[in-house]
Chains A and B, each alone.
Chain A
Amino acid sequence: MSEGRREPSPELSPERPSKPPAEDSRVDPLLGAQDSRVGPLLVEHHRKDDGRSLILYREAEDEDG
């Protein structure tokens, strides 16, 4: 994909107000604070050879799961 290839139409996005930081209430502190654990899941972040992200999720086996 080329840089700057998509400029959203001004008809639909006249302004792009800045978003609140990740601590916003929409984001559970559990999710934002530690990316190795999401609810009952353990999370592994990887980077594929071509640079794309790959995330693996598996169920935790400890008492918190």
Chain B
Amino acid sequence: MGELRFNELRAEQVDYTIDRQERTFLPPADHCPLCPTRPGGIATEIPFPSFEIAVFENRFPAFAAPHGAAEVVVYTDDHDGSFATLPGERARALMWVWRERYAALAARTDIDYVLIFENRGVEVGVTLHHPHGQIYGYPFVPPVPAIELQADERLGGCAPCELLRRELGDGRRLVYENDDVVVYVPYAARWPYEAHVVLRQHRANLPACTASELASLAAALQALTRGYDALFERPFPYVMAMHQAPTTAALTASGHVHVEFYPPLRTAEKLKYLAGSEQGGGTFIVDALPEESARALREAIADAG
């Protein structure tokens, strides 16, 4: 059973959920628990013969009521494909689903932070290939969003707003733009092909976004992920994390909707590992300049059409 312990040296919570060892691990396609339950087939997590988007409570939750939440978001009933290959209307619908789940979890008193994320590829530990993401509702504000809130204080205002202003002014690391959203490789990216997808307007969370902004966000995310797949002409693994305002009562005005991608590939076949300097020293060593990565991603997005 699960337990939270506070790591004093790192000043961070560690979540022990040992029953997750029993979760389904890379099943064959005909035993996928995220596929619909078809006549004559196995009973899956979704007991319907077809569906568009499904959200359910994780069978092996890292967090659960009354101390958080863990949900699975299944993007499609089609086992094959990815977020990048979803039809545009489905990707736009997914933004509304994320928006609704953020609002629903934010209203719970046991949840202080809602993290929408996707792990893609065995390289980042995926155990199910069916296109899906996850949502964690943390009973505390986790360290990474907390550090970003500290950047607000350091920069004297909304850090994503200020960093977006700098990137637009420089221009060399821009990857994609539309009316409402900008994608860029950060000035000090920690991963060779790290990219941030940022709303132009200051929006604390998805419920604060307009329908147009949600559509633009979907378009930007698909442009980037299609570009990733085109970059090395292979399915591109990544960790995707959406940062929004914390949902703890005192901090709901903080934050700026943006999505961060941490892809582990540094070449078509080579992974960037978190080794001595990264884990022991907390300092990333990166063998690609963000300006060069951005140029490659711009070309890949153009190739992907």
Q: Is B259 an interface residue (CB 8 A)?
A: no
Residue of B nearest to A28 (CB): B207
In the complex, are the beta carbons of A38 and B97 less than 8 A apart?
yes
B99 within 8 A of A: yes
Query: Which of B52-60, B149-157, B233-241 is the contact stretch?
Result: B52-60
Q: Which of B2-10, B182-190, B260-268, B286-294 contacts A (4 or more CB under 8 A)?
A: B2-10
Q: Which of A13, A31, A48, A54 contacts B103 (CB 8 A)?
A: A31
* Chain B minimum-CB-distance residue to A31: B103
How many chain B residues touch A (Cβ–Cβ < 8 Å)? 53
A59's nearest neighbour on chain B, judged by CB, is: B93
Q: Which of A9-50 contact B (CB under 8 A)?
A: 9, 11-13, 16-22, 24, 26-28, 31-32, 38-41, 43, 48, 50
Contacts A39-B211, A56-B51 hold; do A26 and B1 have CB atoms under 8 A apart?
A: no
Q: How many A-B residue pairs have CB under 8 A?
A: 134
Residues of A within 8 A of B57 (CB): 52-54
Q: Of all chain A residues, which has the CB nearest B54?
A: A56
The listed residue (A7, A17, A22, A59) touching B89 by CB distance below 8 A is: A59
Which of B46, B55, B207 sits near A26, CB closer than 8 Å? Answer: B207
- Given the known interface contacts A2-B1, A11-B6, A16-B109, the answer about A43 and B100 at a Cβ–Cβ threshold of 8 Å is yes
Q: How far is the CB of A64 from chain B (nearest CB, A)?
A: 12
Q: Are B54 and A54 in contact (CB under 8 A)?
A: yes
- A12 near B103: Cβ-Cβ < 8 Å: no
Asked whether B194 is an interface residue with its Cβ less than 8 Å from the other chain, the reply is no
- List the A side residues contacting B45 at CB < 8 Å: 48, 54
Q: Do A5 and B3 have beta carbons less than 8 Å apart?
A: yes
| Residues of chain A contacted by B63 (CB below 8 angstroms) | 6
Cα separation A19 to B247 with both chains bound (whole Å):
9
Q: How far is the CA of A8 from the CA of B67 in the complex (A)?
A: 8
Identify B96's interface contact among A40, A50, A52, CB under 8 A. Answer: A40
Given A26-B207, A31-B103, A32-B103, A1 and B96 touching (CB < 8 A)? no
Q: Across the interface, do A8 and B13 meet the contact criterion of CB distance under 8 Å?
A: yes
Interface size on A, residues (CB 8 A): 38
Given contacts A13-B112, A38-B100, contact A57 B207 (CB under 8 A): no
In the bound complex, residues from chain B placing their C-beta under 8 Å from that of A41 are 53, 93, 96-97, 100
Given contacts A38-B96, A41-B97, A59-B89, contact A8 B4 (CB under 8 A): yes
Q: A13-B140, A38-B96, A56-B48 are in contact. Are A5 and B2 (CB under 8 A)?
A: yes
B205 and A39 within 8 A (CB): no
Residue from B13, B53, B96, B109 in contact with A18 in the complex, judged by beta carbons closer than 8 Å: B109
A8 touching B139 by the CB < 8 A rule?
Answer: yes
Compute how far the CA of A48 lies from the CA of B27 in the bound complex, rounded to whole angstroms: 22
The A-contacting residues of B in range 37-56, CB under 8 angstroms, are 45-48, 51-56
18 contacting pairs across A/B (C-beta < 8 A) = A7-B67, A8-B13, A13-B139, A13-B140, A18-B109, A19-B107, A19-B109, A19-B249, A21-B107, A28-B99, A31-B103, A38-B96, A40-B93, A52-B57, A54-B45, A55-B54, A57-B52, A57-B53
Please provide the 4 A-B residue pairs with the shortest distance between their CB atoms, ordered closest to farther: A6-B67, A9-B6, A52-B57, A39-B96
